[in-house]
Structure 1
Amino acid sequence: MRPLRLRGAARLCDDSPRRRPPARLETSPLRNADSDASPASAPPSPGADRPRRGLRPSRTDVERWVGEIVSGVGADRSPELGRERAEALSRVLHDEAIRQIVCEGARAIKQARTGSRVTVSRNLFIPLTNLCRNRCTYCTFAKLPDSAEAHTYTVDEVAEVIRGGVATGCIEALMCLGDKPEIAYRSYREMLATRGLSSTTELLLEACRRTLEVGMLPHTNAGILSKEEMAALRPFNASMGLMLETTSRRLREKGMPHFHAPDKEPARRIAMHEEAGELKIPFTTGMLLGIGENDVERVDTLLTIRDLALRHGHVQEAIIQPFHPKPDTKMRDVPPLSDDEVVSWVALARLILPPEVHLQAPPNLGSDMLPRLIAAGVDDWGGVSPVTIDFINPEAPWPALRRLRDETVAAGFELFERGPVYPEWILGRPDFFDPQMRALLPRYANDEGYAQRANDQSDEEAA
């Protein structure tokens, strides 16, 4: 096979201005995870679970492997990057020349699937409740019931926010909320009872119904939901999602980020992904980078997402989300990944995941490296709101849509707005929508499936 040749665009992976990688905390267990820890799903090949001792491919090997993946895009069944090769690549991503090869391959896959188009969703972020039974050591979203910042929306409050979104041309309403606070807090259960509700899911259903009535399309990320709960929500949601985050069971051990987070048990999250696929729900998932997982666990997470997508065909997009340390959390002193690391894993994700799964990177978590992310295969910026903040990462403001468009164009691409469902799903996947939702979607999409708003605003007005 003819080797891939590097082009100027691929060098954006390395040549753009970037900050110096932070010093490692050599004594921190979060940054020195045991290399031999086993991932949650299928175990690695014998001996391949040692990130620093296994196969270390040459540049020629990498060119050949990447070339095989790229050349198969568009075939009935594209070649897959196997576990052993994926782990081997993860060991050499620090090599600048190899990173360029991987980025060029990722960009070629993006070009083959979506051409010059990069998408974004003009949305609202509604934190329906910020109470949560999990206590992840990196999270500032979850509040305790007695906190002055604790809040659970009424349906009327939801409607008021939605009206503001409609006025600024938003289509997608992201319903994001804590996991099952009624399990942990009696006061929350009592509050629900005063509203005539017995569960957070009932509140969510009411909020989604009202959102549709006012004129936006809900996308729900409510943490772990049962199959019955997802089935009840399906008619009132254009799409749903759950970040897989990681398949590492090690992060559930004492002293680790998910020790006090029962809903971060990988098996539970994988099971929900499976059930969403069985229900034919357009689904968003993704990986959280930099919370203490090692390279083997990252590869396993991406392979698990790939297997779920291939098995059920329901994964619309995968988000590669880098950890950002936040004040007043136990992980406030854990350094973030360097830009090079983030770009490397974005590109490797593009090589591992099915080409039809869109690859998303939140632009507010990498605002200084947007061209590098596009060069690494990103084809979607996710939800960007002209109205609400990112309640998960409140320290990171959304970029203005005008700036996002300008930077995307400067990188050689075009920015297209979408709703919570990608165009190819609206036009070609009718079986993934309840009849009621299937009838609604054309109101929000043009003939190509991209966003169409009744009250369209210019970028200057809306962001």
Structure 2
Amino acid sequence: MLIGSKIITYSPAFTLVPTYECFNRCAYCNFRVEPGQDTWLTLAQAEAALKPLQSQGIIEILILSGEVHPQHPQRSPWFERIYDLCELALTMGFLPHTNAGPLRYAEMARLKTVNVSMGLMLEQLTPTLQQTVHRHAPSKVPALRLQQLEWAGELGIPFTTGLLLGLGETTQDRIDTLEAIAQTHQRYGHIQEVILQPHSPGQQQQWQGAAFSPQELVEVVAIARQVLVPSIALQIPPNLLSSSHLLECLAAGATDLGGIGPKDEVNPDYPHPHDAGLANVLQQAGWHLAPRLPVYPQYETWLSSSLQGAVRRWRDQLKQWHPQVQYPEAVRSSSAL
């Protein structure tokens, strides 16, 4: 920690998108293109994009992809491209984190070997959204996504999940979803952070739903902090909030601002703030913005020895860059697999 300041963390990140094509048609999506209408990212293109970042303090490479149907002939090439991108990021000195929609158990197990953490938004457990915004989104079936959290726990994968807010769910729906996350974490101890993502209208979406109320987000943060154990970080997106509402969320219990990079691929109409400017706003309110790794210290021993080595190198680097911040050391967990 930093004497005289409260710490708020973020991940210096860059996003690689293997493909924007997706067989889901979520009514609020500003990310997807139709299957077969996108040219996939090549390894050469990815390497060219990553090379300049090696000297810019970027740590996390988020592999964020549209989804290829599990039964489609392109599913295997799609998965191999994701795996190869993770491997490339590692060889170039970065730490990969993959969020590519629901995966098979074997796919998750294989990606564990080249990711320091993984993620999937639970979104909302209520089935009513399958009659509205998720009517044409087969992989948004709540039970399917909850199963992913279970499998991640069984496999010992440090995991990020979260809620999408303002899609037509009720307050009780949000509480039910948070409680489901808490129960899964109680069994496996693998949820490192929960994202609270407010719906923010974009230019590409079909659904005409209003933006989620920032004041209501503050209330959800407070509820989440009561439902979830303190070791689970609560993440809010700084590009979707005014400075005043951001500070209110921090006061209510939010602890992290997620990956900050050149572009928010999920919400492309809302640019990320520059970390230096954001740090200044927070500093004036008594907060210190500190970079972190995409895997939290208590989960480092869950990783393979080679991944642990890569994480240690970055943790040592952070200590050199930010000597005023006392970064926690890796903690051996009895839940490690």
Deviations 1:100-133 (CA, angstroms, capped at 9, x unpaired): xxxxxxxxxxx9xxx8211111110111111111
Q: Is the 8 A contact 1:317 1:360 kept in 2?
A: yes
Shift of 1:145: 4.0
Structure 1 stretches (4+) deviating beyond 4 angstroms?
Answer: 181-184, 450-453
More strand by share: 2
Deviations 1:303-357 (CA, angstroms, capped at 9, x unpaired): 01111111110001000000012234221x3111222111111111111111110
Counterpart-to-counterpart distance in 2, 1:267 and 1:171: 33
2:325 counterpart residue number: none
Shift of 1:451: 6.5
- TM-score normalised to structure 2 length: 0.89
Shift of 1:424: 3.7
Other structure's SS at 2:316 match: coil
Shift of 1:248: 1.1
Counterpart-to-counterpart distance in 2, 1:395 and 1:389: 9
Q: Which structure has the bigger radius of gyration?
A: 1
2:124 counterpart residue number: 246
Q: Is the 8 A contact 1:118 1:379 kept in 2?
A: yes
2:269 counterpart residue number: 395
Equivalent in 213, 216, 222 of residue 338 of structure 1: 213
1:440 counterpart residue number: 310
Counterpart-to-counterpart distance in 2, 1:328 and 1:200: 24
Counterpart-to-counterpart distance in 2, 1:146 and 1:175: 20
How many residues in Structure 1 have an aligned counterpart in Structure 2?
A: 317
2:222 counterpart residue number: 347
> How much identity, in percent, do the aligned residues show?
38
Please list, as runs of the form range in 1=range in 2, the aligned pairs for 1:158-173 lying within 5 A after superposition: 158-173=46-61
1:415 counterpart residue number: 289
1:362 aligns with 2:237: yes
Change (3 A) 1:156 1:379: same
Counterpart-to-counterpart distance in 2, 1:423 and 1:132: 34
Shift of 1:434: 1.7
Q: Is the 8 A contact 1:162 1:215 kept in 2?
A: no
Gaps in structure 1 of 5+ consecutive residues: 1-110, 193-197, 454-463
Counterpart-to-counterpart distance in 2, 1:161 and 1:259: 36
Deviations 1:355-409 (CA, angstroms, capped at 9, x unpaired): 1100000111113322112111111110001xx3111100000011011211222
Q: Is the 8 A contact 2:23 2:35 kept in 1?
A: no
- TM-score normalised to structure 1 length: 0.66
Please list, as runs of the form range in 1=range in 2, the aligned pairs for 1:223-372 lying within 5 A after superposition: 223-253=101-131, 256-331=132-207, 333-368=208-243, 369-372=245-248
Q: Is the 8 A contact 2:93 2:310 kept in 1?
A: no
Other structure's SS at 2:160 match: strand
Change (3 A) 1:247 1:452: farther
Counterpart-to-counterpart distance in 2, 1:179 and 1:146: 12
1:116 aligns with 2:26: no
1:14 counterpart residue number: none
Counterpart-to-counterpart distance in 1, 2:36 and 2:68: 17
2:90 counterpart residue number: 212
Counterpart-to-counterpart distance in 1, 2:150 and 2:229: 17
Counterpart-to-counterpart distance in 1, 2:118 and 2:69: 20
RMSD, aligned CA: 1.9
| 2:54 maps to amino acid | V
1:377 counterpart residue number: 253
